[in-house]
Amino acid sequence: MDFSWMAWTWPTIAFFSFVACCLVGMMVWEWKDPGGGPRRGILTLDTTRGDRLFISLLGSAFIFLGWLLVMSTPLWGGLAISLVWIVFVFRYV
């Protein structure tokens, strides 16, 4: 099957593979520890693991956009802040 019309590049394949791995990882986590790990974090939101993944990915997207707007390329600084944000969300939110 020819997918050339989708104009794939290695970075975009890597990006979607990362998202797919996250989803598979969440499934495995759920299988090992069912129930979704619901809790009320410091933002007083009731979240499950899936919610926390959504918040961390959406937040990371905006962190990258913000970095691009303020600091321009390269994006390593944005990546570092995003990783800190993801750890923060999964630990405390």
Partner 1 sequence: MANKTENQKAWLFVLPVVLLVAFNALIPLMTVVNYSVQETFGDNVFFWEGVKWFEQVLNSERFHAALLRQFAFTGTILAIEIPLGIAIALTMPRKGPWVPVCLVLMALPLLIPWNVVGAMWNIFALPETGLLGKVINGMGIDYNFTQQPVAAWLTTVLMDVWHWTSLVVLLAYAGLCAIPDAYYQAAKIDGAGGWAVFRYIQLPKLKRVLTIAVLLRFMDSFMIYTEPFVLTGGGPGNTTTFLSIDLVKVALGQFDLGPAAAMSLIYFLIVLLVCWVFYTLMMRNEEA
Q: Is 72 in the site for partner 1 (CB under 8 A)?
A: yes
DSSP symbols for 42-79? TT--EE-HHHHHHHHHHHHHHHHHHHHHHT-S--HHHH
Binding mask 30-69 for partner 1 (x = CB under 8 A): x---xx--------xxx-------xx--x--xx--x--xx
Q: Which CB, 57 or 88, lies closer to partner 1?
A: 57
Q: Report CA-CA distances (Å) from 18 to 35, 41, 49, 92.
A: 24, 26, 17, 23
Residues that bind partner 1 (CB under 8 A): 4-9, 11-12, 15-16, 30, 34-35, 44-46, 54-55, 58, 61-62, 65, 68-69, 72-73, 75
